[in-house]
Structure 1
Amino acid sequence: MEEGLALVVERKGKKRKRKKMREDRGRPFCQDPLDVLGRDLMLRVLNNLDARSLALCLVVSRTWNRVASSDLLWTSKCEELWCGKAHIPRLSLVQGISKLDAYSLSVMDGKRNRIMRDDLCDHVWEFHFTKAAPEYWRNLDPYWKGNGPPMHRYFHPDGSQTADPGDKVWGGHESCYSIVTSIIGEGKIREHYVRINRWRPLAVSRKQDWSWEMTNNLFCYSSIPDAYKEGGTGPLFLVM
């Protein structure tokens, strides 16, 4: 009697096991890839993702965050981001910050349209007259005549501006600049421009390669690429 009961229980147990196996075969594989592959292999997998997809991995779990935030991954992402850029933000190259922070700060700074004194002073600026400028001025400008290197302008921390020696347009006169920014409620910028002496304000714009351009109806200033500069350029703190 006992042997028969044990046999029935054993058969039922086998049936349950077979049923569970059939059910498991129909279910998706739910095991965490990080547990299966381990950290080293997972780093190789994540390294094939683009920056946006990699950033999404940061919010999967704390364990994933520790792996997906590794400098081993974000170093290459920073290099990809900075490739072809005219300027590398100084705040992204501060010693001690993670490469993930460097990437995030670079993206935020690259969207900045508010120019600061550090930006003006850190870069060399190519200068030329616009088509609307008087013909006499344009005749002195290599940009229009094609008879020499472009003119350069240099901004200094003391508020002055200078040019290359022998610049025919410059003429050795004194020049000073100011940055004007008016802000309305909630930190929104209503007006932002650079003024040189008493000339018309220069409207400020940012290009996709993170270079700067300042223009009015007479002049155009363009920042010359200097991504090679050690330590980066621009303000040390994030500017909104």
Structure 2
Amino acid sequence: MISLCSSYTVFGQNPNPTKRQPKDLMLKVLNNLDARSVALCLVVSRTWNLVASSDLLWTSKCEELWNGKAHIPRLSLVRGISKLDAYSLSVMDGKRNRIVKDDLCDHVWEFHFTKAAPEYWRNLDPYWRGNGPPMHRYFHPDGSQTADPGDKVWGGHECCYSIVTSIIGEGKIREHYVRINRWLPLTVFRKQDWSWEMSNNLYCYSSVPDAYKEGGTGPLFLVM
């Protein structure tokens, strides 16, 4: 990986290399730097900032960041924002562990019982039988939840969900979970690929990857 120091060497240790080097050469050099090093170049000078904040440069950085991710944040795909902002917002959203209604409703969720669940339920679950596609669950903005037609586990009973978040001083989250009806709370986890998992000792929900989804998914604002 090329370091920030080596970029100074390329430009002859000139703090304002554009006086001697064309912009396209600067872009080629910066494109070989990791995102953190490019970000450091933003504060060298106004000229460096102009080049280092180029959409041409950060478009490829965004593609590298999003590669292999299950979900792409909606707030990073808003029309008109710079690719640098898109990258920064993606990184911040990817660290978010607090799930919101937009996340629940935007994704399809795979559902299966855990090993601790009663054997009768596991015998109805393709996850354990290995003889069919996984069961799916869908969250809706009106607070309801549905399943695929013909789901043998889905009993047709009333099903609603709620997100419970309690916050103490300085915005610190004390408790955060999702509840279906009055059943056991679901603890929320965020994975390295930005996908979600919600589980308790009886069943588990996993968000189905949808990085291809036009416009992205999740909230249109930063959630802390």
What CA distance in whole angstroms lies between the structure 2 residues aligned with 1:224 and 1:165?
A: 18
Aligned counterpart, 1:172: 156
- Per-residue Cα deviation, 1:126-168 (whole angstroms, up to 9, x for no partner): 0000000000000000000101100000000000000000000
C-alpha displacement at 1:229, in angstroms?
0.4
Structure 1 vs Structure 2: percent identity of aligned residues? 92
What CA distance in whole angstroms lies between the structure 1 residues aligned with 2:156 and 2:185?
A: 22
Q: How many corresponding residue pairs?
A: 202
C-alpha displacement at 1:211, in angstroms?
0.2
What CA distance in whole angstroms lies between the structure 2 residues aligned with 1:40 and 1:98?
A: 19
- Per-residue Cα deviation, 1:169-219 (whole angstroms, up to 9, x for no partner): 002122000000000000010000000001110000000000000000101
Aligned counterpart, 2:127: 143
What CA distance in whole angstroms lies between the structure 1 residues aligned with 2:157 and 2:128?
A: 23
State the TM-score, normalizing by the size of structure 1.
0.83
**Structure 1 unaligned spans of 5+:** 1-38
Q: CA RMSD in A?
A: 0.5
Residue 186 of structure 1, aligned match among 162, 170, 175: 170
62-71 or 102-111, which moves further after superposition?
Answer: 62-71
What CA distance in whole angstroms lies between the structure 2 residues aligned with 1:236 and 1:110?
A: 14
- What secondary structure, in the 3-state scheme, does the structure 1 residue paired with 2:218 have? coil
State the TM-score, normalizing by the size of structure 2.
0.89
What CA distance in whole angstroms lies between the structure 1 residues aligned with 2:31 and 2:182?
A: 53
Runs of 4+ aligned residues of structure 1 deviating over 2 Å after TM superposition are none
| Higher fraction of helix | 1
- What secondary structure, in the 3-state scheme, does the structure 1 residue paired with 2:178 have? strand
Residue 213 of structure 1, aligned match among 173, 194, 197: 197
Which structure has the bigger radius of gyration?
1
C-alpha displacement at 1:43, in angstroms?
1.0
Aligned counterpart, 1:28: none
**Structure 2 unaligned spans of 5+:** 1-22
C-alpha displacement at 1:118, in angstroms?
0.2
Aligned counterpart, 1:158: 142
What CA distance in whole angstroms lies between the structure 1 residues aligned with 2:99 and 2:88?
A: 19
What CA distance in whole angstroms lies between the structure 2 residues aligned with 1:42 and 1:133?
A: 59
What CA distance in whole angstroms lies between the structure 2 residues aligned with 1:44 and 1:212?
A: 36
C-alpha displacement at 1:59, in angstroms?
1.1
